[in-house]
Amino acid sequence: MVPSTPYCDLHIHVGASVAPHVMWSIAHQQGFKLPVANYWEFVELVTVDPRKVKTLEDYLRILHVWTERIQSSPAAMERSVYEIIGKEYRGSRVERIELRFNPMKRNLEGERDLDHIIHAALRGMDRACLEYGVEAGLIFCLAREFTPELNEIILEKAIKYRDRGVIGIDLAGTEKRAVELSVDSVAKYARIFQQARDAGLGTTVHTGETTNTSGEGVMAVLRELKPDRIGHGIRAAYNEDATKMLADTGCVLEICPTSNLNTRAVRHLEEFKYVLATFLDAGVRFTVNTDGTYLCGTNIHKEYRLLVDSEILSEQEADVARKLAFESSFLNA
């Protein structure tokens, strides 16, 4: 049953949210040679099995090896974006959605034109918004593994298409404790993020998503990059200074419960109860999101019900988070 309450999803990846049957169709349409014999094996290939996925790296491997490759054409991106927006509205009444992806991971290392990839994504978004009356925007992901020069190109494209529906930038990829948590390594992105703000783009950063961090990355990001929002950020709950810094700055967290459970960033629901209770007590603002609907086997309504039914959030607390998602959207800029 479709919920009567409207939802807003601020953190949802294109590579993790296209239905397997659509991905199967796109793969065949583009002539991909797949390592599986039939559709059901393909479904297993592009979805998370919690028994097999032990880390964030395992999760990302599914994205990078298969879904992003299958989506690496203008036609694939147009259809992918269109299908996601329509499905999330029909299935969960998501009336506002911010889809994110790295356009440079869809152009086969320069083999395909970056602007064509972006235009196709915008066409898919425009068509879905027209048909369903949904509000939508695109966030371009920078990559931690990219050189500064490549990330600057992505920023340039985000600014170029600011008036067409690109609403923000993100910094994504795994944090390596010895490298990515130092101020120097985070600071190398500071100029890019300042340029994004100056151009009127929203800013968000993936950090505090793995168990090898305990808030240091969150604090470095807050100090050096000053983002509007942080993707995940859950490990800040284990660091009083990080929790206080989040509360003081008003930076909004994009919490993705099922994703964090699947990647073992949070071990179980009892731990999630501790994390969110810590944030609530400290006055840290957070929203609830999906990260990847089909990859994680979830939707936005399920995410809220998971937290409420497990008595992690009350109905009132969940509704505060739901409303905050609309208020914190980059589409308001």
Domains of the chain: 7-332 (3.20.20.140)
Token output for 320: 């505060």
* Mean pLDDT lowest among 28-42, 115-129, 289-303, 313-327: 28-42
Distance from C-alpha of 268 to C-alpha of 279, rounded to nearest angstrom:
17
Q: Which amino acid is at 190?
A: A
* 80-115 confidence digits (pLDDT tens): 999 999 999 999 999 999 999 999 998 877 778 999
User: Residue 317 pLDDT more than 90?
Assistant: yes
User: Residue 210 pLDDT more than 80?
Assistant: no
Mean pLDDT of 307-328: 97
Q: How many CB atoms lie within 10 A of CB 157?
A: 19
Angle between helices 240-249 and 269-282 (to 10 degrees): 50
What are 170's strand-pairing partners?
A: 141, 204
- Per the prediction, the chain carries an average pLDDT of 90
Contact partners, residue 155, CB within 8 Å, separation at least 6: 140, 142, 169, 192, 195, 196
CA distances from 300 to 31, 206, 312 (A): 33, 19, 16
> Are the C-beta atoms of residues 94 and 135 closer than 8 Å to each other?
no
* Per-residue confidence (pLDDT) for residue 177, from 0 to 100: 46
> Are the C-beta atoms of residues 117 and 81 closer than 8 Å to each other?
no
Strands (E), the chain: 7-13, 94-101, 135-143, 166-172, 202-207, 229-232, 252-255, 286-288
Catalytic residues: 209
* Per-residue confidence (pLDDT) for residue 180, from 0 to 100: 47
Q: Which residue has the higher pLDDT, 18 or 32?
A: 18
Q: Which residue has the higher pLDDT, 43 or 326?
A: 326
Contact partners, residue 264, CB within 8 Å, separation at least 6: 54, 55, 211
* Per-residue confidence (pLDDT) for residue 331, from 0 to 100: 97
Q: How many CB atoms lie within 10 A of CB 291?
A: 28
SS3 for 36-61 is: CCCHHHHHHHCCCCCCCCCCHHHHHH
What are 287's strand-pairing partners?
A: 254
Cβ-in-10-Å burial (0-12, 13-18, 19+) of 211 comes to middle
> Are the C-beta atoms of residues 290 and 12 closer than 8 Å to each other?
yes
Distance from C-alpha of 248 to C-alpha of 34, rounded to nearest angstrom:
49
